[in-house]
A and B are shown apart, each in its own frame.
Chain A
Amino acid sequence: MTRFANTLAAAVAAIILLSACKGPVESTQLVVNPDDCTGCGECVEVCPYNAIEVIDGDAVIDPALCHFCYRCVEQCPEGAIN
């Protein structure tokens, strides 16, 4: 029960932290979560700038070529790109 309470507290703390991120948020690169990425390559197929490649089983985005069109975010079946 204590473990459950600890985990719940950690989850609540993370949610509070997440909701506290208000105001303008800017990114200079998209973020790929390697835990979620399965290396299926669908993002590579839809990228119109040739900015993504699957290396060692994970999608890797080239920050010099990415134009933030978000097609990879929309297409990724695992929701691994933010």
Chain B
Amino acid sequence: MITLEFIINILSLGSLYAMLALGLVIVYGILRLVNFAYGELIMVGGYTMYLVTLYTPLPWLAVAIVAVLAVMLTSLFTELVAFRPVREKSLTAMLITSFAVSTLLQNGALLIISPRARAVTLPQIFQTSVMIAGTSVPWRNILTILTCILTLALLTLLLRRTVLGIALRAAADNFKMTRMLGVPANTVISTAFAISGIMAGIVSIFWIGRSASVTPTIGMPPLLVAFVATVIGGMNSLTGAVVGGFVYAITISLLGVILPPGMVEFREAFMFAFVIIVLLFRPEGLIRSKTSVERVG
């Protein structure tokens, strides 16, 4: 049952989910904002790829880079116009704002482009496979794993070796204190949203790469995955997000194998029940962080 193919599948899914979760957690860590508009960033990435390949003769790699940049800019823009003005008000206001931004982006795509799916052209490498130890492995999966390793390495470098990264980690730990020590709040938050956008942009390439098409509602499934993965891993920890992503990939794959045929469609319900249980009994997730004051009783 557990073949090399199964393991590589899980590794590539886990890599994708880990990057997804990281993008959500980096904003949550600082603002305590669960960004409902995060899934729509992936949709923006998909439509950018579609539009750029349609109107320009750019090579695919350039298209992908443009897509990541466009997602990053969208993320920064939502922060600037929607989240920054309500940030000082209340957490509830910020959460409703993110829900509104999500609806806005989704229906904006519906309005400007089309309710119908749009095909995204992908390079040949996304469709071909390579033989490893007797099993055929899609290049897409290998690329996902390699990209994840590279992204995580770069992010670790950024967070550990640069002043901005250290400020970001300090802000996630204690935002008030960090601000008192002279770190400008807006810079830190913008950086977090930029990183979140880059993550969503990278994920969008591989997410869209699986279906080769984009619709206005494509952001919903990745958002749900990111929610579950971050809660399981621990909402306050970046390492936790990565762990959560892999745990999600393993659990959902195993559920697909273990559950009787009639129950497989309820997989998502099981995952979310798992989320509720984690929040109740281990609200800090698998990876503990310093503080967690969400529980009252």
B is a partner of A: no
